[in-house]
Amino acid sequence: MTKLFLVRHGQSQWNLENRFTGWKDVDITELGKQEAKQTGEMLKEEKIDIAFTSKLIRAQHTLKIILSETGKTDIPININEALNERSYGTLEGLSKTKTAKKYGADQVHIWRRSFNIAPPGGESLKNTYDRVIPYFENFVKPQLQQHKNVLIVAHGNSLRALIMYLEHLSPEEILQREIATGEPLTYSLDNQMNIIKLGKKYLSFY
């Protein structure tokens, strides 16, 4: 049995401002830093052998704080854009409220919550899944199969893709899943990536 810890970055400045972020490199807020510290406290007693994160500063900064809190600053860290948030294309930087007024709430909901439909110039959740899962299978899964405990700090939609894969969820099911900032989700897995135990107390639905 091995453990996989999934963490969405702490609150970012554009989370606070309710703006589409995507691949824009926006750092975490003071609340985001506190969320990362709390995550570190939660994981302090866990064995963590290796970490993976995206190329975006909000995920890297969150990971740095978590590792500092846990005292595991010497473990290997792998950074790759495959774990980046989904791209929101031309919507990035725009207010979600103003965008809904411009295009209609229904259209914005489709862009945000459809599995196959991407916002203008951006990625759908399926596009995100198609880059996250090959990376996971080629680089993360081998570590887990060597019985190493893995920490991944990434983003709402890149983590949705992983959760969909790990829990064998349908597109309809995964679209109902929300991942709160700065709350660890813990999977205990066997060598075939079957879930033995899921730390449900860290799941957030809203």
Q: Give the E-state strand segments of the chain in sequence order.
A: 2-8, 50-53, 77-79, 150-154, 185-189, 195-198
Annotation says 85 is catalytic: yes
Annotation says 9 is catalytic: yes
CA atoms within 13 A on the CB side of 175: 15
Q: Token pair of 156, please?
A: 């709402």
Rounded CA-CA distance 138/74 in Å is 23
Q: Find out whether 61 and 87 touch, Cβ atoms under 8 Å.
A: no
Single out the catalytic residue among 9, 35, 61, 123.
Answer: 9
Rounded CA-CA distance 150/171 in Å is 25
Cα of first residue to Cα of last residue in the chain, in angstroms, is 31
The β-bridge partners of 154 are 8
In terms of DSSP bridges, do strands 195-198 and 50-53 run parallel, antiparallel, or are they unpaired? unpaired
Single out the catalytic residue among 35, 61, 69, 85.
Answer: 85
Q: Find out whether 180 and 160 touch, Cβ atoms under 8 Å.
A: no
Q: Which residues are catalytic?
A: 9, 85
